[in-house]
Amino acid sequence: MNSIAEQQRQAYEDIERIEEAIVDMMLQDLTKHRYKLIREQKISTLLEQIQSRSKFLQEIEQDESGLRRKESAGMADNKFDEFYSRLGDIREYHQRNPDILVHPPEVEYLRYKNNPEESEERERVLLAKAEEEEDIPEILDVLTFIGSEDEHRLDTMFSGEERLGRYVDLHEQHELYVNLKDSGHPTYLDYLADLHRVEAYPKRHKLLPEYMRYLDNLREYFDGYFSRAMPLFDLPKAREEAIAQFESEWAERKVIGWTTDTNALYCAACDKQFEKSTTLTAHLGSRKHQKVVARHDASSSDIKRSDSERKVAMAECIIRLYVQILGTKIRETRANVQRRQALTEEERDQEIDDEEVVFVEDKDDQQIYNPLNLPLGWDGKPIPYWLYKLHGLGVKFSCEICGNSVYRGRKAYEKHFQEARHSTNMRRLGIPNTRQFHGVATIDEAQALWERIQMDKKREVTNVDTVEEYEDSEGNVFNKKTYFDLKRQGLI
């Protein structure tokens, strides 16, 4: 077993080597988004190792057990005796294990010096040269900080919509928000655009458990996204600052969305929110409410209500901070959704195949100039304005049958009438999705047209006798019913 002084020296050496490895990785000029993200995750892991070793050194310095002081005192009294004693232990250990392999500590951190992109380029050049000379190249396996397990872990870490942390995937949270009461049923694009206005949700519904469940789900997603896509961001520090600012604003009643108390449909004694005043009135006169009031005085009810409001307001404050930090990624996500709506199925498949090409950043043009907020094309740049006007992408069409979905451009709007989503919703209304209903987007119009079609069919069946015509011997024309009536009477 190593002495405490040796363990302390080893910890200091590891910290220095880890810091050197981090510097070597940061100095590498990487262009691929995939490699940059793996580098950040590796640095985050190395920083955790530094923290663990620093904590170990701190425990040694505190020396609560007194072993370090005892060892130092023994070394001071008998310097050479302690030295030769430990030297004998080392020789005895190697005599018992003569074939043990020794791994120098510098070899472990050597792979952090090599640039993975330069290694790939050297391998590609050697392979191209070998094809020209028809010879098998001798490729050296250069170790880098990227391994096969890192590639696999990165591929399974993000969803398809997140595209390796370049965008956010809030479809599940959007579904929860749409199902809230009085949410307005915004589209996914509108939801992303107004995500920073989390306080805009009606205050009379904020104390409902569904809204708190939505906030918790949104906060959990952002916490996981920061750890996956931005591992070097100091999220705990930013969260603590936001909570401290919230506490001061809450004490002064200056929190956004909670400055005034306009919620009159809330029972503070029972901690319940109501939708209508009649329901609240009936509840106030119930026996259950009277029993709760008898058990708790008004002051405790006010404290309970204040705690519920404070919890919701703090959750909104934290989410507002997250959205502010991820503002650029959310805007890029919205632009990407708009761009993908203008692509065909073949172009989407081709984009997935060329995913790595999309992630290569152009150093000369990192910030795209897009004052008209045009959709992005397959190359990640805004499409021409004449193409934007030609396809009519500035005109939005909504379909109430499809849940108030909004389609940009006449082409996408016309195409959706034959898609499975529209056909399924039409069958739920009991209406066949035939050509007659093409262009009908509201439920009332579709139901009225279906009733008119059914009435016309019934009218055709009942008017069969009036459609057929008969002619008598004198050339007079009668319908079928009138002709046989006159013939039975002997008039013709």
Of residues 45, 47, 62, the one with CA closest to residue 8: 62
Q: For residue 349, what pLDDT is reported?
A: 67
Polymer length in residues for the chain? 492
Element of type H or E holding 124? helix 116-133
Structure token pair of residue 322:
């997250």
Say if residues 377 and 383 touch (Cβ distance below 8 Å).
Answer: yes
Tokens of 296: 């708790």
Q: Cα-flanking dihedrals φ and ψ of residue 267, to 5°?
A: -100, 110
Long-range contacts of range 38-44, CB-CB < 8 Å, 24 or more positions apart? 38/145, 38/146, 38/150, 38/151, 38/154, 39/145, 40/230, 40/231, 40/232, 41/150, 41/154, 41/231, 42/112, 42/145, 42/150, 43/231, 43/232, 44/231, 44/232
Q: Tokens 């060329």 belong to which residue? A: 354
Q: Could you give the CA distance from residue 232 to residue 152 in angstroms, rounded to a whole number?
A: 21
**For position 473, what pLDDT does the model report?**
81
Single pTM value for the model? 0.57
For residue 282, give both structure tokens.
């009936």
Tell me the longest C-alpha to C-alpha distance in the chain: 148
Query: Mean pLDDT, consecutive 10-residue segments, the chain of 492 residues?
Result: 78 89 87 86 90 89 79 70 79 83 73 80 73 57 74 81 88 90 86 85 82 91 91 89 86 73 59 70 77 60 63 88 91 88 72 50 55 74 81 84 86 87 88 88 91 84 68 82 85 77
> How many other CB atoms sit within 10 Å of the CB of residue 264?
9
- pLDDT for the residue 143: 75
Chain position carrying tokens 């191209």: 128
User: Given this model, what pLDDT does residue 99 score?
Assistant: 78
DSSP, collapsed to helix, strand or coil, labels residue 136 as coil
Question: Which residues, 6+ apart, have CB-to-CB distance to 155 below 8 Å?
Answer: none
